[in-house]
A and B are shown apart, each in its own frame.
Chain A
């Protein structure tokens, strides 16, 4: 069974480059196209927490180190 987890994305640090969204294997991230942070940039957010498998791909690829990953303790 795949592990479970969730991510926290810092809204102000995110620049909306979309790299985390395209590299997420379970498509649980998305870019918020209706809202922006204080720099006027769309930010990524966790859409579906149940899908997150704590693979860290989004956090590794994130250029601005905006993502923190948590894994469910077995």
Chain B
């Protein structure tokens, strides 16, 4: 550090110094960073347990310096339920992609939300199966080209993209639902605030908290990170609007 200067921002200590395997510009690593900043700020490193999915973020336990558990494909919600019921004083989160949470694990997700299990979902929605080579996911937009929909997704045969945040906000025992993104520094800061809020509601035992991150996939979408931000703005946000879908009533907080 130069003389006369003070440190105002650095990599969180809870994020291990290992180089992340994600593609350049991927929001997975941004969300990892935000998540670990929240853990560092709230000083809950010893009390936090995460559940990893199958997908691009399958190696998240290599980067996050908290207790982690790997789950079978799509079953992170079920594993997190078990952990939270056995250790109710811990802060439990499941970190899942759209192939994991909205495709193979839809049943686990819906039922965990219906039961109001007291843990936090962090759902990375990039609209594509990134790890396996860019196939169509349930959240792929109408007309979006992927390797399994080379002429664009057709709603007549493949249906419309699933809006998970809207769906889970209908459940009575879900406390907090918000969709955020990381496409600008302002939105990235909002993501951090949303994660912090979700953890605080979880500590108060208000019910399931669900954060959906409208993410990008430069490799799967076959574009540069910069172009992926434009695609997010032009195509993803009109269909997946950002914002709070459900919040606990003020007197409860």
Interface residues of A (CB under 8 A from B): 5-6, 12-13, 15-19, 22-23, 41, 54, 56-57, 59-73
Which A residue's beta carbon lies closest to that of B27?
Answer: A63
On whether the beta carbons of A63 and B185 are closer than 8 Å, the reply is: no
Interface residues of B (CB under 8 A from A): 1-2, 4-12, 15, 19-20, 22-30, 33, 182, 184-185, 188-189, 218, 224-226, 229
Alpha-carbon distance between A13 and B189 when the two chains are bound, in angstroms: 22
On whether the beta carbons of A18 and B25 are closer than 8 Å, the reply is: yes
Most chain A beta-carbon neighbours within 10 Å: one of B19, B22, B189: B19
Number of A-B residue pairs, CB cutoff 8 Å, is 86
- Smallest CB–CB gap between A72 and chain B, Å? 6
Which A residue's beta carbon lies closest to that of B26?
Answer: A63
- CB-CB < 8 A to B12: which residues of A? 65
Alpha-carbon distance between A35 and B119 when the two chains are bound, in angstroms: 46
- CB-CB < 8 A to B20: which residues of A? 63-64
On whether the beta carbons of B225 and A18 are closer than 8 Å, the reply is: yes
On whether the beta carbons of B189 and A17 are closer than 8 Å, the reply is: no
25 contacts between A and B (CB under 8 A): A6-B5, A12-B19, A15-B24, A17-B24, A17-B25, A17-B218, A17-B225, A18-B25, A19-B25, A22-B226, A22-B229, A56-B9, A63-B20, A63-B22, A63-B28, A63-B29, A64-B19, A64-B20, A68-B9, A70-B7, A71-B5, A71-B8, A73-B4, A73-B5, A73-B6
